[in-house]
Amino acid sequence: MRDRYTISELAQEFGITTRTIRYYEDQGLLSPGRDGLNRVFSNRDRVRLKLALRGKRLGFSLNEIRELFELYDVSRDERRKLEAFLAKLNRHRTMLEERRGDIEIMLNEISFFADQCHRLLKEEDVGNGGDAAA
Amino acid sequence: MRDRYTISELAQEFGITTRTIRYYEDQGLLSPGRDGLNRVFSNRDRVRLKLALRGKRLGFSLNEIRELFELYDVSRDERRKLEAFLAKLNRHRTMLEERRGDIEIMLNEISFFADQCHRLLKEEDVGNGGDAAA
DNA sequence: ATTATTATTGACGTTAACGTAAAGGTAAGA
DNA sequence: TCTTACCTTTACGTTAACGTCAATAATAAT
């Protein structure tokens, strides 16, 4: 595991464009170093990028993602605000659990549909070769 | 359970604006009847609206949601394409399971953070009242 | 030396998903 | 009859999240 990535390496690894990465830096999600003009991304940036993309897949906005990053960062210095942080963590957890609930519901519906489909397909088989009692 | 809802009833029930509902109709997600000029929403519309909002919470675009609706609709008339439909269903299932995986990962991370926080808080308690061996 | 590759910044364009305001129709209640 | 409340369509505005293009710089390969 290196600790130096170019912008196009990360873009290729995650299947996004360099523009996206620069935009994320612009929005405060990434803070790469510089080698002259060129950006140099650390493992920290790489992890953040992965987290950001995961957040996006779950429907979070870049703004929300940045706020979450800030929350997690804050937790490193300020112990006094731990209770508040815990509360926010729990809100975050609740949001995620709601979304997981949504997913469970949709998966159940899919299973229902799939079962129906399989039954219909079986009926067709029966209709081609035997009778309904088989 | 009635089968007639006005636009503002649905808007209030789901916490959205009437504009949103009209927009969803415009995008082919809803197809309410008419009483003169006024829209009349059926239970079918209401269910679709609920599904659409759930999809949105999971990061699906209105376009993807409409395609899913069309897929589920198609399944009612055309049995011949059941295999293709099943394949698409499974792709849908895979997407959802990936997202669920994302959520599990984030929930685990949250638990980790929360545990860390609780430990830090306990250490502070100890620092205030007793010694490390207590 | 020059060509190709990869990077930079800057700026304008685009799409989705609505917000918002204007101008008007209709039906109930004071 | 007039106001209030809710509905309509039309249309322009807005925000997020990038796409795309231009002009330029540095570095590597031929």
* B4 Rama class: left (phi>0) / alpha (psi -120 to 50) / beta: beta
CA A57 to C1' C29 (Å) is: 51
What integer pLDDT is reported at residue B110 of this predicted model? 85
Q: Is B3 on the interface with A (CB under 8 A)?
A: no
CB atoms inside a 10 Å sphere around CB A86:
16
User: B12 pLDDT band (50/70/90 cuts)?
Assistant: very high
Q: What's the rounded Cα separation, in Å, for the pair B51 and B90?
A: 19
SS3 at position B28: coil
DSSP string, B85-97: HHHHHHHHHHHHH
Check: CB of residue B79 under 8 Å from CB of residue B103. Answer: no
What integer pLDDT is reported at residue A15 of this predicted model? 96
What integer pLDDT is reported at residue B134 of this predicted model? 29
What integer pLDDT is reported at residue B133 of this predicted model? 33
User: A129 pLDDT band (50/70/90 cuts)?
Assistant: very low
Question: A-B interface: how many C-beta pairs under 8 angstroms?
Answer: 97
Q: Is A76 on the interface with B (CB under 8 A)?
A: no
Q: What's the rounded Cα separation, in Å, for the pair A29 and B104?
A: 22
State mean pLDDT over A111-123: 81
Asked whether residue A10's C-beta has any atom of DNA/RNA strand C within 7 A, the reply is: no
CA A100 to C1' D27 (Å) is: 49
Chain-wide mean pLDDT for chain B?
85
SS3 at position A128: helix
pTM of the model: 0.78
Q: What's the rounded Cα separation, in Å, for the pair A103 and B106?
A: 15
Q: The dihedral of CA B123, B127, B132, B134: what is its sign?
A: negative
Q: Which pLDDT tens digit goes with each residue over B105-122?
A: 889 988 988 888 888 777
Check: CB of residue B16 under 8 Å from CB of residue B54. Answer: no
Q: Which nucleotides of D are covered by protein (CB under 7 A)?
A: 6-11, 16-21, 25-27
Asked whether residue B116's C-beta has any atom of DNA/RNA strand C within 7 A, the reply is: no
A31 or B67, which is more confident: A31
Nearest nucleotide from residue A21 CA, by C1' atom? D18
A80 or A57, which is more confident: A57
